[in-house]
Each structure stands twice: as structure tokens, then as C-alpha cells.
């Protein structure tokens, strides 16, 4: 027997309605019901950050949120970053600074970076490393990710020098 609940929410600025069971995580709802597969499943226990999304603007691990909890709430996933003008400045910065290799952790890191820069437009390197401690990357060794966040910050603040 299924015990489905109708959930109405906003995902990437679009109203959505979907049916889900209480034990389905927000991550499962995004990927398997709404078809938004940009958000990745890594550890499924809150350690890796691959499933990072914004819930009412706050960074959360979507594997640790239930789909039924988002009734009336607003979610931003990686699919919500780019718009008709093109890539989001954070995405552009990750391209310019080679802030990824295999790319599996990248959606979560882009979202975590947005959450950081929304609240702290000029983070220090230590701020960036501490904030991204919940986003694991097997490839880059993190240095290029940190650099990409710094480039993103200067793009968003219009403070980039020519060779940034």
C-alpha cells in the first residue's frame, strides 16, 4: 500500500506539485519524481555534500530532508543557477579556474558556493575551506575549487583584475 502525500513547493522559481511517500528524501523527489538529476547522491548520510541544495535560501543536504517537509518551501538546485543570459557567474568561474575534474561533486559545490557568497561576498580562503568542508571532492585536491570560489567572488563583486 502506498501512502502518498501531495506536496506543493517552488523549485528553481517554478511552482511544482508532486506525490511522494514520507520516507522519500528530497534528493529522491528531485531526481526520481521531478527529473532534476543535477543534484547527485553520494553518501546519502550527510557527509559528502553532493546532494546540496538551497531550502528557502539555506544550504542543506537534500538526502537529510524529507520530500514531505518542503510543502510551501522554495528549493534551488544546480539547474536553477543558469538563466537565459547563460551560466551563472559561479559556474563561469569554475570553468575559468578549472574548479572540477570528474564533475560529480560540482553541482553540490556550486550550490554551497552560492550559499556562501550570498551571505559573505568576500570570504577569506579559510572561510571558503571551512564552508566547503561538507563537500567532498575525490579529484581536485580542493585548491582549484578554492581558487574558483575566489574568482566567483570577484566576478560577483566586479573586483576581478584582468588576469584573475
Partner 1 sequence: MQPFAYQAPTSVGEAVALLADPERGARPFAGGTDLLVQMRRGLFAPGMLVDVKRIPELNRIAFDPTEGLTIGAAVCCAWLCEHPAVRQQYPGLVDAASIIGGAAIQRRATLGGNLCNAAPSGDSIPAMIVLGASATLAGPKGTRTVPVADFCAAPGKTVLRPGELLISLHVPPPAPNSAARTRSGARYLRFIPRGEMDIAVAGAGAWLALGDDGVITDARIALSAVAPTPLFVEAAGAALIGQSPTEAAFAAAAAIAQEAARPISDVRGTAAQRRHLVGVLTRRALHGAYQRAKGEACDD
Using CB under 8 A, list all residues that contact partner 1: 3, 5, 21-23, 25, 44-47, 49, 52, 55, 58-61, 63-66, 68-69, 112, 115-116, 129-135
| Of 102 and 130, CB closest to partner 1 | 130
Closest contact distance (angstroms) between CB of 136 and partner 1 is 9
Per DSSP, 20 falls in state E
Q: Quick one: DSSP state of residue 25?
A: B
- Min CB(149)–partner 1 separation in Å: 13
Smallest separation (angstroms) from partner 1 to the CB of 23: 4
**Within 13 Å, how many C-alpha atoms sit on residue 101's CB side?**
9
- Tell me how far CA of residue 48 lies from CA of 42, 76, 113, 125, 135, in angstroms: 6, 18, 15, 20, 5
Amino acid at each position: 500500500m502506498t501512502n502518498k502525500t501531495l506536496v506543493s513547493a517552488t523549485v528553481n522559481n517554478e511552482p511544482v506539485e508532486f506525490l511522494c511517500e514520507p520516507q522519500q528524501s528530497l534528493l529522491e523527489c528531485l531526481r526520481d519524481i521531478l527529473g532534476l538529476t543535477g543534484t547527485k547522491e553520494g553518501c546519502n548520510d550527510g557527509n559528502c555534500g553532493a546532494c546540496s541544495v538551497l531550502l528557502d535560501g539555506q544550504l542543506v543536504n537534500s538526502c537529510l530532508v524529507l520530500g514531505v517537509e518542503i510543502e510551501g518551501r522554495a528549493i534551488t538546485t544546480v539547474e536553477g543557477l543558469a538563466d537565459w543570459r547563460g551560466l551563472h557567474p559561479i559556474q563561469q568561474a569554475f570553468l575559468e579556474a578549472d574548479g572540477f575534474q570528474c564533475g560529480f561533486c560540482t553541482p553540490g559545490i556550486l550550490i554551497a558556493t552560492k550559499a556562501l557568497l550570498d551571505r559573505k561576498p568576500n570570504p577569506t580562503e579559510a572561510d571558503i575551506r571551512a564552508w566547503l568542508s561538507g563537500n567532498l571532492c575525490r579529484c581536485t585536491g580542493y585548491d582549484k575549487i578554492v581558487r574558483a570560489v575566489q574568482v566567483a567572488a570577484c566576478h560577483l563583486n566586479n573586483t576581478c583584475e584582468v588576469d584573475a
